């Protein structure tokens, strides 16, 4: 505890880090405040909480979706646009060229992403206003309410995107992920209170202990890396007879879970399709009624088996399109590096691809197990609001963002130690020492 207090004092003693933390807290406060501001002309008492995909979006957005706030769509359209651009970067030569142009290319891709975000937000906000906000919840005429709400929701999403960029620039970093995390974690206190009231303090302590081990497992999955040793060509140091050949050795890190949370998001978006399709044929077929029933229940074995299979498939798919062994091979060749025991060129790409396939399979299985843990927690007696924190998108995003934030803070602390060592007078300039 004493060490923790000392680290906290060190953090506050660094002016730049202190300012960045305060900026981050301020921006997050503005974001949470906007989640409680309703759209003009909406009667909140007439709103009906949706199920399925609506619950998923509402959890990600910290309740703003069901509340019909000005941040009802949050940062999700920007994430959708980023995913589209990322896929285009793999498939379209124009985006591949822009990505290789350095800073100017990245600025152009960012500009295209923002324009695509506006287009996606306009489409999603129109659907949201017409399909989710019922007529009895609208206190003004549709001719005014619909265009006004679309403009406000689009502006709200762009403002959320601006907040995320400001947190990245002036805060502790990872602004977009930070907004998602604060939306998820905002429902955690209420879920705890509900769980204690439902199951009692003793059961709650057991659940917290189980949650602790699950969080540790997610940390291991997030941080697990397969390091491939690489060797750089020898460099000659000195001249004449004093020449010394020196070779540098490093590692090429490949994450076990390179796809991160994206396979769960992709799979989650498809899990609502069977029940929606079966609903159209429910009156004519008993099998359609069965499909609608089992795929509307996230605790059924059919739902979880399909969910796990989709996650495994999407993990391989997303890893394949985001990690290019051929590009790694070219990068190693340009930097004068090679993998010991492996010939340069195509054998190097094949070797990296083989290693990637071997670590992706256990990573995909691990990710699928973590994704379906909330269903087991719910079947074990946990409330649904609390069970969602036992795995899935919520837990992986929270763990990933927290780890990244801690690494950012730790880098500032290390820089502070170096500054303190130089200012202490123990390392003096050589000219002063000679004088």
Summarize pLDDT for 276-329 with one digit per residue, the tens.
788 777 777 788 888 888 887 778 888 889 989 999 998 988 888 888 888 888
Same-domain pairing of 288 and 376:
yes
Contact (Cβ atoms closer than 8 angstroms) between residue 72 and residue 39: yes
5: in domain: no
Residues 360, 94, 84, CA angle at the centre, nearest 5°? 50
Report the alpha-carbon distance of residue 161 to residue 75 in Å, rounded.
6
Same-domain pairing of 229 and 179:
no
Coil, strand or helix at 19: helix
What are the pLDDT digits (tens) for 219-241? 888 888 888 888 887 655 555 55
What are the pLDDT digits (tens) for 102-140? 788 888 988 999 999 999 999 989 988 888 888 888 888
2: in domain: no
Same-domain pairing of 32 and 65:
yes
Same-domain pairing of 112 and 217:
no
CATH classification of the domain holding 232:
1.10.3370.10
Confidence of residue 265 (pLDDT cuts 50, 70, 90): confident
Boundary-marking domain end, from 171, 186, 201: 186
Same-domain pairing of 150 and 192:
no
6: in domain: no
pLDDT of the residue at 52: 54
What are the pLDDT digits (tens) for 370-403? 988 988 888 888 888 888 888 877 888 888 888 8
138: in domain: yes
Residues 130, 136, 138, CA angle at the centre, nearest 5°? 60
Report the alpha-carbon distance of residue 178 to residue 171 in Å, rounded.
10
Boundary-marking domain end, from 165, 186, 207: 186
Contact (Cβ atoms closer than 8 angstroms) between residue 167 and residue 175: yes
Same-domain pairing of 116 and 264:
no
H-type helices in 132-241, by residue range? 142-170, 175-185, 188-223
Same-domain pairing of 280 and 377:
yes
What are the pLDDT digits (tens) for 67-78? 889 998 888 888
Same-domain pairing of 209 and 164:
no
11: in domain: no
Which structural domain, as residue segments, surrounds residue 207? 188-237+245-435
Same-domain pairing of 182 and 212:
no
The pLDDT > 70 percentage for the chain reads: 89
32: in domain: yes
Boundary-marking domain end, from 168, 186, 204: 186
Q: Provide the number of structural domains found in the chain.
A: 2
- DSSP state letter for 135: G
Q: For the full predicted model, state whether its pTM sits above 0.85.
A: no
Contact (Cβ atoms closer than 8 angstroms) between residue 71 and residue 34: yes
Same-domain pairing of 50 and 128:
yes
Structure token pair of residue 176: 């977009």
Report the alpha-carbon distance of residue 292 to residue 279 in Å, rounded.
6
Same-domain pairing of 328 and 408:
yes
286's CB contacts (< 8 A; 6+ apart) are none
Same-domain pairing of 114 and 144:
yes
């Amino acid at each position: 505890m004493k060490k923790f207090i000392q680290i906290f004092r060190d953090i506050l003693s660094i002016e730049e880090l202190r300012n960045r933390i305060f900026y981050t807290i301020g921006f997050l406060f503005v974001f949470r405040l906007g989640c409680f501001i309703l759209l003009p002309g909406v009667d909140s008492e007439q709103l009906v909480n949706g199920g399925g995909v609506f619950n998923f979006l509402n959890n990600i957005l910290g309740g703003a979706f069901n509340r019909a706030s000005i941040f009802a769509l949050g940062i999700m359209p920007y994430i959708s646009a980023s995913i589209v651009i990322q896929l285009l970067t793999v498939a379209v030569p124009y985006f591949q060229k822009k990505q290789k142009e350095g800073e100017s290319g990245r600025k152009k891709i960012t500009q295209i992403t923002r324009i695509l975000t506006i287009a996606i937000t306009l489409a999603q906000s129109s659907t949201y206003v017409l399909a989710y906000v019922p007529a009895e919840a609208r206190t003004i005429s549709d001719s005014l309410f619909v265009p006004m709400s679309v403009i406000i929701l689009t502006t709200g999403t762009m403002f959320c995107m601006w907040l995320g960029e400001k947190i990245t620039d002036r805060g502790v970093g990872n602004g977009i992920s930070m907004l998602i995390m604060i939306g998820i974690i905002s429902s955690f206190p209420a879920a705890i209170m509900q769980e204690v009231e439902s199951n009692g303090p003793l059961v709650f302590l057991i659940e917290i202990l189980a949650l602790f081990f699950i969080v540790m497992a997610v940390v291991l999955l997030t941080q697990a890396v397969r390091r491939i040793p690489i060797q750089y060509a020898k460099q000659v140091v000195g001249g004449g007879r004093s020449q010394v050949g020196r070779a540098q050795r490093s590692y090429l890190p490949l994450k076990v879970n390179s796809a991160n949370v994206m396979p769960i998001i992709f799979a989650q978006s498809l899990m609502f399709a069977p029940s929606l399709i079966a609903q159209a044929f429910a009156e004519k077929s008993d099998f359609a009624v069965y499909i609608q029933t089992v795929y509307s229940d996230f605790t059924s074995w059919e739902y979880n088996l399909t969910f796990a299979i989709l996650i495994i498939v999407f993990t391989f798919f997303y890893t394949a399109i985001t990690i290019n062994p051929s590009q790694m091979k070219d990068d190693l060749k340009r930097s004068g590096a090679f993998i010991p025991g492996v010939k340069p060129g195509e054998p190097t790409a094949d070797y990296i691809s083989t290693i990637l396939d071997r670590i992706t399979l256990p990573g995909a299985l691990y990710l699928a197990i973590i994704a379906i843990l909330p269903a087991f927690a719910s079947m074990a007696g946990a409330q649904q609001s609390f069970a969602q924190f036992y795995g899935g998108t919520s837990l992986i995003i929270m763990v990933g963002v927290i780890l990244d934030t801690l690494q950012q803070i730790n880098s500032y602390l290390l820089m502070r130690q170096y500054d303190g060592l130089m200012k202490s007078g123990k390392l003096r300039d050589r000219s002063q020492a000679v004088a």
